[in-house]
Amino acid sequence: MCRVEGNATSTIRHESLKGWRLLICQPINDAGEDSGLPLLTLDCLGAGNEQLVIVTSDGKSVREKIGDPHSPARYMTIAILDEDIGEIEEITELEVPA
């Protein structure tokens, strides 16, 4: 889980990153405290400052989403959490619709 700290801009980008919005996301622990160094993530959801997001570090899936297997991208926002998330329940088994 991360908190969006702001946007990032660059004058020079890898060709595969052109057109993608870049966010600075701060990983946080369950208590909402900073946990580790900020991450530069790609955003396709329109997350705003101070919003809580889920970030994937699965570089392969990010590169598939971008459409370039040689992209240097690794992190991408995959969900925006509601304001009041309360307790996070552990998912032990996913039900797949028939």
Q: Where are the domains of the chain?
A: 2-75
Hey, is 21 helix, strand or coil?
A: strand
CATH class of 2-75: mainly beta
Scanning 3-91, the segments in alpha helix (DSSP H) are 59-66
Mind listing the pLDDT tens digit of every residue in the chain (98 residues)?
Answer: 999 999 999 889 899 999 899 999 999 998 889 999 999 999 989 999 999 999 999 989 999 999 999 999 999 999 999 765 555 555 455 455 55
d(CA 40, CA 9): 11
Length of the chain: 98
> CA end-to-end span of the chain, whole Å?
30
